[in-house]
Amino acid sequence: MLTKLALRNVFRNRRRSAITLLVIVFGAVGLILFGGYKAITFHGLRESTIRNRLGHLQIYKAGFERAEARKPLEYGLEDVAQLRRAIQADKRVRMTTAQITLMGLVSNGDKSETFMATGVEPKEDKAMNAQRLVSGTDLPANESDAVILGRGLAASMHAKPGDYLTLMSTTTSGSLNAIDVRVAGIFMSGVKEYDDRAIKMPLAGAQQLLQTTKVERLLVMLNDTDDTAAVRASLTTLFAKNHWALEMKDWSQLATFYHQVVALYNGIFGFIGMVVFAIVIFSVANTIVMSIFERTREIGTMMAIGTTRSSIWRMFLAEGLMIGVIGGVAGLLFGFGISNLINRVHIMLPPPPGYTQGYPLRVMLQPGILITAFLIAVITSTLSSILPALKASRLKIVDALGHI
């Protein structure tokens, strides 16, 4: 009976209940949209960070991280073929690729600039889809002296595809070495600071410049990011079994920018959540207080004919709960609909800080976000009716009956 009473009372003053429900729906939709936007941003950033740059796992020679190397590639990996075969035996592994990073000077004869180069295996690097070519071609598969330049660096060097540049760097034995390279193409990663210094060159070319046969690291790409921890564990076992002195990092340990973005967005999401929480609390509390004021004599009557204080309290609490449930369900439906609409109309957003390209606004509907939005609606609505409900249950019957 209390449930029936509560439900009917919710629909008694329809306009007021509708306004309260609207507030809850707005709050829930806001949470769903922002949560969905956050989810897709995290997902996109994570996958692009992994697939374009970091790989899921990176393997180095033991001591690589802690030791300050005195010479380039002092802690480099030698003869990675056996290691790669062992790793690629795992079905969850999509591919492995070796890399070297090096720094030095690039010159066009008239002018020199510092560069940061990554020596990559062209075929595997292409599979990683690391960059977008602005002009020219990608790294050719079997040409060790071809390079591609970041857009900023190419502009600074006045270089275009087909031009020749000289790269100079310190070799693994500590002496200086220089090689001439042909500009195959110009690329952009979207991060301006990176594009102003970046060179990609074939691993063989980098090894030639550094006069070594070693590689710096081995990147492991998986089919599914969710397998990272499991694969890491099995690789650790594999290394121990073969007594390979290696160390390993996963993408999460390397993706500083990703973690900064996650922390920022979570902070904003938390703040929005608090605002929604506060608005719903005040709105529902106001509705219940008004309702109690209007129904004072009714409450007095109910108590006079034997309704207990706790029943009155529970009835108003149930009203808050029902407002929350109805608002939460409506919020889910609207949130779902609006999310789908947004995903269909392709709204473009301006480039984020540090990027040169905009991206489409998309919302990812995850069960976790929907459940959170629904629970926040229900819990805040119920919480905000606790005090007014308590007040109603403490009314003096005689005063309540005399209330007009």
Q: Is 158 in the site for another protein (CB under 8 A)?
A: no
Q: Which of 298, 386, 390, 403 binds another protein (CB under 8 A)?
A: 298
Q: Which of 134, 289, 364, 401 binds another protein (CB under 8 A)?
A: 401
Q: Which of 92, 94, 249, 297 binds another protein (CB under 8 A)?
A: 297
Q: Which of 182, 168, 180 is nearest to 72 (CA)?
A: 168
Asked if residues 94 and 228 have their Cβ atoms less than 8 Å apart, the reply is: no
Amino acid identity at 219: L
Q: Is 5 in the site for another protein (CB under 8 A)?
A: yes
Cβ atoms within 10 Å of 262's Cβ, excluding its own: 16
Cβ atoms within 10 Å of 128's Cβ, excluding its own: 20
- Scanning residues 302 to 331, which ones bind another protein (CB under 8 A)? 302-309
CA distance 174 to 210: 9
The site for another protein, by CB under 8 A, has a size of 22
Q: Which of 327, 283, 316, 324 is nearest to 385 (CA)?
A: 316
* Shorter beta-carbon distance to another protein: residue 171 or 301: 301
* Shorter beta-carbon distance to another protein: residue 132 or 396: 396
Q: Which stretch binds another protein (CB under 8 A): 2-10, 60-68, 170-178, 285-293?
A: 2-10
DSSP assignment of 359-394: EEE-----HHHHHHHHHHHHHHHHHHHHHHHHHHHT
Q: Which stretch binds another protein (CB under 8 A): 4-12, 22-30, 191-199, 361-369?
A: 4-12
Q: Is 132 in the site for another protein (CB under 8 A)?
A: no
Q: Is 398 in the site for another protein (CB under 8 A)?
A: yes
Q: Is 390 in the site for another protein (CB under 8 A)?
A: no
Q: Which residue's entry shows tokens 């390279």?
A: 181
Amino acid identity at 3: T
Footprint of another protein (CB under 8 A): 1, 4-5, 8-9, 12, 297-298, 300-309, 396-398, 401
